[in-house]
């Protein structure tokens, strides 16, 4: 058994976390990770606040172990309402990304813990100063959104800069990785890609199989997928997008999704489209439209297995994923391998 400041802080058996992934970290997968001894995180940004409440209750019906939610803070009012619901439901761990947490005292008041997600030393230090209980640090190898520094460089810099537990993300999938993260000062690891390739994951079989065949070089890092720099599986669609394929067409489709999301009538939609045509690419409407389009393509991959239009966010660790174990099998394997690695390293001292 491996005991760290992460297992102590969150009360989980193993220092392994399921990274928040919208549409992927559904209650069954979250509970499977918790029941196998890890810390399961449910990503809420795809939900209305009331859907979040329903999902939290479903997770509680499937496990009595600690779990968390992950919310993207830049989504304004809906993020505030979601955090409020999570606090009312006394969710043990509130994990946030992309924003400044206003709810730390509120969460601490019911005994919950706040877990920030960062990708630079500066933001990690800030999260510690603000009063977070722990942080996730994500290196460039990771699936989806991230910054340029890689895990091997970023992790020791962060663990030397803050006193709170640090959970390493980006490029982890086995026990040697866990042992390496601990050696670099981390208190545990967080995995997205590896958990998305398990039996319990809802990811469409088409994309699971593509990932199993892929090498460590078969991902692309670009801001063309949804407007923010991120990593996705290399496919004909993502290759075309990176070369400058169809972001404008996508943004228009995205604008239509924004129309639906904001409940605009056709006159308002036309007004919005004219505004977009005269605006810089960095205008919030363009950003929203690109995100909506990226989300549409992502769900097409996850649910429909659509290889023509779908985008699957995947990390470089796909190159080391060659099977689809159950969550329990994966967790047991990682812990056994990490223990063996630590023992072997320790023996070198003699
Ligand atoms: C299929 C998939 C979907 C993801 N979706 C999200 C998301 O909705 N929000 C988010 O903040 N991160 C998302 N991520 C990123 C993970 O939270 C995590 O940062 C990343 O997977 C860690 O690196 P790894 O993939 O090397 O394990 C996603 C990752 C994957 C594999």
Q: What whole-number percentage of the chain has pLDDT above 90?
A: 78
Looking at residue 87, what is its pLDDT? Answer: 98
Does 195 share its domain with 213? no
Buried b (16+ CB within 10 A) or exposed e, 239-248: eebbeeeebe
Q: Whose CA is nearest to atom 31 of ligand 1?
A: 193
Q: Give the domain extent around 247.
A: 206-304
Answer yes or no: is pLDDT of 263 > 80: no
Per-chain mean pLDDT for the chain: 93
In a domain, 218, yes or no: yes
Mean pLDDT of 303-329: 96
Does 285 share its domain with 221? yes
Q: Whose CA is nearest to atom 9 of ligand 1?
A: 21
Cα-to-centroid distance, 192 and ligand 1 (Å): 5
Residues 75 and 262 sit within 8 Å (Cβ to Cβ):
no
Does 96 share its domain with 225? no
Instruction: Check which CATH number belongs to the domain holding 181 and give it.
Output: 3.20.20.70
- Closest to 111 measured CA to CA, from 93, 95, 136: 93
Does 234 share its domain with 297? yes
Cα-to-centroid distance, 330 and ligand 1 (Å): 18
Give the pair of three-digit tokens for residue 120: 């630079």
Please state the domain count of the chain: 2
- For the chain, what is the radius of gyration of the CA atoms? 20
Residues 178 and 209 sit within 8 Å (Cβ to Cβ):
no
Taking the alpha carbons of 265, 269, 270, 271 in that order, is the dihedral positive or negative?
positive
Q: Is the CB of 193 under 6 A from ligand 1?
A: yes
Does 234 share its domain with 342? no
Minimum-distance ligand 1 atom for the alpha carbon of 138? 19
What is the C-alpha separation between 61 and 55, in angstroms, rounded? 10
In a domain, 311, yes or no: no
* 178, 192, 232: residue to mutate for ligand 1 pocket, most atoms within 8 A of CB: 192
Looking at residue 246, what is its pLDDT? Answer: 61
Does 95 share its domain with 143? yes
Q: What is the pLDDT of residues 205-224, one digit of tens each?
A: 999 999 999 999 999 999 88
- Closest to 242 measured CA to CA, from 233, 156, 193, 45: 233
Cα-to-centroid distance, 12 and ligand 1 (Å): 21
Residues 100 and 130 sit within 8 Å (Cβ to Cβ):
yes
């Amino acid at each position: 058994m491996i005991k760290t400041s992460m297992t102590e802080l969150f009360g989980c058996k193993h220092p392994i976390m399921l990274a928040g992934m919208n549409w992927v970290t559904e209650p069954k997968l979250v509970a499977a990770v918790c029941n196998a001894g890890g810390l399961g995180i449910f990503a809420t940004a795809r939900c209305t606040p009331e859907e979040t409440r329903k999902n939290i209750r479903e997770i509680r019906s499937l496990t009595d172990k600690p779990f968390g939610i992950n919310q993207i803070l830049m989504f304004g009012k809906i993020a505030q309402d979601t955090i409020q619901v999570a606090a009312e439901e006394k969710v043990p761990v509130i994990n946030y990304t992309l924003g400044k947490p206003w709810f730390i005292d509120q969460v601490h008041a019911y005994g919950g813990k706040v877990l920030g997600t960062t990708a630079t030393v500066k933001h990690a230090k800030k999260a510690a100063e603000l009063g977070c209980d722990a942080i996730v640090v994500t290196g460039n190898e990771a699936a989806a959104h991230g910054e340029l520094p890689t895990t091997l460089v970023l992790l020791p810099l962060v663990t030397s800069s803050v006193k709170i537990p640090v959970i390493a993300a980006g490029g982890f999938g086995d026990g040697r990785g866990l042992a390496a993260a601990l050696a670099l000062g981390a208190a545990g690891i967080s995995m997205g890609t590896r958990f998305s390739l398990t039996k319990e994951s809802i990811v469409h079989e088409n994309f699971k199989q593509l990932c199993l065949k892929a090498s460590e070089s078969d991902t692309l890092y670009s801001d063309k997928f949804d407007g923010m720099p991120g990593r996705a599986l290399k496919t004909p669609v993502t290759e075309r997008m990176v070369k400058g394929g169809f972001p404008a067409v996508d943004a228009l489709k995205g604008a239509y999704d924004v129309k639906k999301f904001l409940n605009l009538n056709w006159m308002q939609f036309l007004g919005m489209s004219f505004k977009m045509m005269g605006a810089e690419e960095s205008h919030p409407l363009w950003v929203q439209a690109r995100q909506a389009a990226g989300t549409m393509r992502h769900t097409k991959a996850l649910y429909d297995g659509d290889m023509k239009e779908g985008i699957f966010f995947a990390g470089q660790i796909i190159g080391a994923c060659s099977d689809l174990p159950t969550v329990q099998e994966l967790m047991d394997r990682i812990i056994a391998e990490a223990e063996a690695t630590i023992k072997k390293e320790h023996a070198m001292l003699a």
